Structure 1
C-alpha cells in the first residue's frame, strides 16, 4: 500500500522523516531528532502520529521521544539500546516487523555505529530508513561496533533492490563526496560528486539516495575494489572497509 514520506531539515544537519500510510492515514516518525520541529510538521500536515520508530539510542535520534509521545500518544518502537535514554513500548530487533496501518516495515539489523542499531525497510514501497548506518557516499562512524560488524550491516543493506530509496539521517554528502574523490578515481564517482556539489550550492537536499547509486559510488561499499589503492590488497573485505573508514576518520578535506 502506498506511503507518503515527508522530509524536513532540523538541528544542524539532521533530517526528520514523517511517513504516512495512505490507506489508513496513520503516520510514524523515524527517530525524534527535534521534538518541536516534528510536532510543528505534524500540525502543519494534519497527520496523526501512531508510531515513533527509533533506529538507535543517540540523543539526536531518540532524545525527543518523551516530548513527542506526550503530545501525540504515539507508541515508541526501537532496539533495546534506546532504553539508555528513553522508554520503549515495544523492543524490536533484526528479523522482526512493524505495521503502520497496512504498511509493513521489516527490521534489519545494522549495528556498527552503535551495537544495536537497526533499519526499517518497506519492501512494497521500495524504501528504507537507515539512521546513521549508511549515508549518501558515506557510512556512520564506528562509535561502538567493530569493522566486521559494520561491514556485515552494510552488506545487508546493499542486498536490497537497487531501486530502494534510502533515507539517511544527516546531510553529510558534500563532505563525503570530497573524501570519496580522495580515494576513488572512478569517473562515476567524480560525476556524482559534481552533482552533489551543485545540488548543495542550490540549497537542495541530497537525501534520499538509492541502493544502486550507493553501490556504484560509495567508497565504503566499494572498499574491496579500492583495496590496493588504500593499502589493503589481499585483505578480507571487512579489513578493506576498515582501512577506508580509518582514512575517513582523519580526513580533513
Structure 2
C-alpha cells in the first residue's frame, strides 16, 4: 500500500484546502470543497484528477464547490448523514463509528457535534492522519453554533484520545489569534509560550501553521485542557465541571 500524498493550500480568506492522493490508484480526495478555483489549481499543479470529496459539515465555506466539482469530475461525495439534506451532491451518508475504504486505506468517521449538529472528522488510523475541519484547530476549536459546550467538550475528548503522533489537518488559519488568546488562559505553560513565539515567527514569514501534531495540541491547546488543574486554578474554577471550564474558555475566546 502506497503512502498517501497530501497537498495543502489556502482558499477563500482563511480556509485550508487539502487534497489526499493515492499514487498507486490515482484516487484523489478533497477534504471539503471551500472554493473551486484553488482546488483546480492544486489538481493541475500536481497532475491529479479528483475522484472524491470528504465533507465534514454543511457550512457554505466547506461545501460551496461540491456541485461544480461533481459536474466536472463526477466525484463521489461522502458526508455526515445527519446533515445530508444540507450537503450538496452527497452520495454516501456516514455517521459515528462508520468506516470506508479509500484506495486501500481505512477511513474512520468520528462524529464531533458542537460547531454544527452533525460535524464529522475523518481519521485514517494506519496513516496517522486526522482531518478535523472546524472541530479542532491548532490551539483552538470551532465556535459553538449548533450545539452547546456540554456537547462539544465530549467531541474534543474523542479527538484527544487518538494516538498522540497523529498529524492533524484543520479547516482554517486562525492559529496566530488562537496563540495570542491561549497564553491568556494558560500563562504558566512553558511549552505554550514557546509555541506561541514560534507561530508569531512562522506567520510573519507568511507560512501556514497546518498541519499540527496532536501531541502538541494536547500539551498546549487550552480547549483540550479544560480538565488541567493549572487552567482551572487560573480561571478560579477548581470546583466546576470540565465542560463548564471549557464553556468559559470558549466564551472568553468569543470576546477576545
Specify the TM-score bucket, using the shorter chain as the normaliser. over 0.9
- In the alignment, which residue of structure 1 is the partner of 2:4? 3
Structure 1 position 231, deviation (Å): 3.2
| 1:205 is aligned to 2:208 | yes
Give 3-state SS (helix, strand or coil) of 2:180's partner.
helix
Does the 8 A contact of 1:109 with 1:118 survive in 2?
yes
Verify the 8 A CA contact 1:31 1:52 in the aligned structure 2: yes
Structure 2 counterpart of 1:239: 244
- Superposition TM-score, scaled by structure 2 size: 0.95
Between the aligned partners of 1:234 and 1:213, the Cα distance in structure 2 is 27
1:50 aligns with 51
SS at match of 1:23: coil
When normalised by structure 1's length, the TM-score is: 0.96
Give the secondary structure class of the aligned counterpart of 1:83. helix
1:44 Cα offset (Å): 2.3
User: What is the Cα deviation at residue 37 of structure 1?
Assistant: 1.4
CA–CA distance in structure 2, aligned partners of residues 239 and 133 of structure 1: 18
- Residue 217 (structure 1) aligns with: 220
Bigger CA drift: 218-227 or 136-145? Answer: 218-227
Cα shift readout 1:159-183 (whole Å, capped 9, x = no counterpart)? 1111100000110000000001111
Unmatched 5+ stretches in structure 1 = none
CA–CA distance in structure 2, aligned partners of residues 139 and 30 of structure 1: 18
Cα root mean square deviation, aligned: 1.1
Q: Is the 8 A contact 2:79 2:87 kept in 1?
A: no
Partner residue of 2:233?
228
**Distance in 2 between residues matched to 1:248 and 1:231, nearest whole Å:** 17
Q: Which runs of 4+ in 1 moved over 6 A?
A: none
Task: Indicate yes or no: 2:187 matched with 1:190.
Answer: no
* Structure 2 counterpart of 1:153: 155
Q: 2:95: which partner in 1?
A: 93
- In 1, Cα distance between the equivalents of 2:58 and 2:34? 11
Aligned to 2:79: 78
